[in-house]
Amino acid sequence: MTRRILLVNGPNLNLLGSREPEVYGTATLQDVEKLTADAASAEGFELRAVQSNHEGVLIDAIHAAREDCAAIVINPGGLTHTSVSLRDALTGIALPFAEVHISDVYAREEFRHHSYLHDVAAVRVIGEGVGGYASAVRQLAALIP
């Protein structure tokens, strides 16, 4: 089995570091990618990262992961609450995945409480800040033989 994890960050996460720092903190997307790559390396995995504001790009990256990845860490951003297609892509490739949210979505607006991924994710990490990405990697690594 390939020792690679795909990191997927959805819409608006390219604005990390400047977007609502009181909610998301000051770490940039590059900081998140490095932190996640370091956590993956510590568990014996390499990391491939993708971020897009376009749902189809994310779905294509997820489909491609079935060729050379053992797991996926995904922060779908706003697509969490709207995208059946993203859910179908993740369940269609049958890789374990972790759903990550930097903020505590359950302490925010009610529309953020619903996730199309909650019942199919192997791991969920919510409200741990950007450190949640590393936590997700460690939890997924424990599931992979």
| CATH number where 95 lies | 3.40.50.9100
Instruction: Tell me: is residue 83 an annotated ligand-binding position.
Output: no
Percent of the chain past pLDDT 90, that is, above it, reads: 82
What is the pLDDT averaged over residues 118-142?
97
Catalytic residue among 24, 54, 63, 113: 24
Catalytic residue among 54, 101, 106, 113: 101
Instruction: Tell me: is residue 54 an annotated ligand-binding position.
Output: no
Per-residue confidence (pLDDT) for residue 91, from 0 to 100: 97
Minimum mean pLDDT range among 9-13, 62-66, 107-111, 141-145: 107-111
Starting at the earlier edge strand, list the strands of the sheet with 97-101: 46-51, 4-9, 71-75, 97-101, 123-126
Instruction: Tell me: is residue 74 an annotated ligand-binding position.
Output: no
What is the pLDDT averaged over residues 28-45?
97
39 CB burial (10 A radius; 0-12, 13-18, 19+): buried
What is the pLDDT averaged over residues 64-93?
96
Residue 98: what are its φ and ψ, rounded to 5°? -110, 130
Distance CA 95, CA 90 (A): 7
Q: Are the CB atoms for 57 and 43 separated by under 8 Å?
A: no
What is the pLDDT averaged over residues 22-34?
92
Q: Which domain holds residue 18?
A: 4-143
- Whether residue 143 is predicted with pLDDT greater than 90 in this model: the reply is yes
- Whether residue 99 is predicted with pLDDT greater than 70 in this model: the reply is yes
CA geometry: angle 102, 94, 11, nearest 5 deg? 35
Q: For 1-12, how does the pLDDT look when each residue is reduced to its tens digit (9 = 90+)? A: 569 999 999 999
Instruction: Tell me: is residue 113 an annotated ligand-binding position.
Output: no
Strand pairing of 97-101 and 4-9?
Answer: unpaired
Per-residue confidence (pLDDT) for residue 2, from 0 to 100: 63
Number of domains the chain is built from: 1
- 101 is known as an active-site residue: yes
